[in-house]
Every structure is written in C-alpha cells, then in structure tokens.
Amino acid sequence: MKTEEIIAQLPYSKPFLFVDKILNINENGVEGCYTFDASLDFYKGHFKDKPVTPGVILTEVMAQIGVVCLGIFLLNKKFNSNTSIALTSNEIDFLKPVFPNEKVRVISEKIYFRFGKLKCKVKMLNQKNEEVCNGIIAGMIV
C-alpha cells in the first residue's frame, strides 16, 4: 500500500488532519511529519501574545501518524468506510513547546497489534531533532 493511499484513507480532513507525509512505514512502525500552520484556530487563544501548540493537539498528531496510519497499513485492504478507530489509552510526557510554523517528525514503534488493538511507543521530534514529547498510545480498530 502506498503512503498516499494510507493518508487518503484517514478518517480526518482539514483542519483536523495532522499528517503531511509518511516518510517510512513497515509492519514494525511508521515515521511521518506535519507542519503546524500559524493560521490554525487554536493558536488564537493558546496563549495570548505567545502561541504554543496545545498538548492535546501534539497527542493527536502522534496518534494520527503513529497509530492510525500504522493501523491502516497493518490492515491493508481490510480497512474500509465501515472501519472504526478509537483511542483507548495514552500516556504522554511533554518536554518542549512546539510553536506555529514548526515542522515535527513522529516516530512510532509497534509494541503489539492483536484482536484489533494497536499499542505503540511514539515520540515527536522538532526541526532541531530535539524530542518534544514521547509516550505510549493505544487504539482499537474494528
């Protein structure tokens, strides 16, 4: 399955699609990137005069690239419009802020995928290759 096909199958659209490109993907993990456009609505109020990307959005980026894209790849042709995806758990440590117009890279390693549950170790790096957050994210694909 081509990376463009995986992105096209994501159940999200702008402004809530947080995957620009999948750089590498295989049965053990995925690496992808996203650039935070300064015009995104949440920057207007988080925080006044010094916008920072909310942690919940960073978590969503890691989930979309690190779990959902990988899940679509692992399911291959079995993924369709009747497939549902849900976050089941996450534990994320935030280490550095991410600012408007910053490009991030997400690297995910599969811990396990069985009975429709995918659990991954995920980290996000900024353009300086500094780790900005990391953790474990799990989701169900049914």
Domain range 3-141, CATH class = alpha beta
Does residue 122 contact residue 108 with C-beta atoms inside 8 Å? Answer: yes
**pLDDT given at position 77:** 65
Question: Which pTM does this prediction carry?
Answer: 0.94
pLDDT of 28-83, one tens digit each?
999 999 999 999 999 999 888 899 999 999 999 999 999 999 999 998 867 666 77
pLDDT band, very low/low/confident/very high, at 106 (cuts 50, 70, 90): very high
Listed residue (4, 18, 12) closest to 105, CA to CA: 18
Poorest-pLDDT segment among 48-52, 83-87, 118-122: 83-87
Rounded Cα distance, 40 and 53, in Å = 10
Rounded Cα distance, 106 and 125, in Å = 6
Q: Is residue 98 classed as helix, strand or coil in its secondary structure?
A: coil
By annotation, the residues acting in catalysis are 46
**pLDDT given at position 127:** 96
Neighbours of 84 (CB within 10 A): 9
pLDDT band, very low/low/confident/very high, at 85 (cuts 50, 70, 90): confident
Average pLDDT, the chain: 94
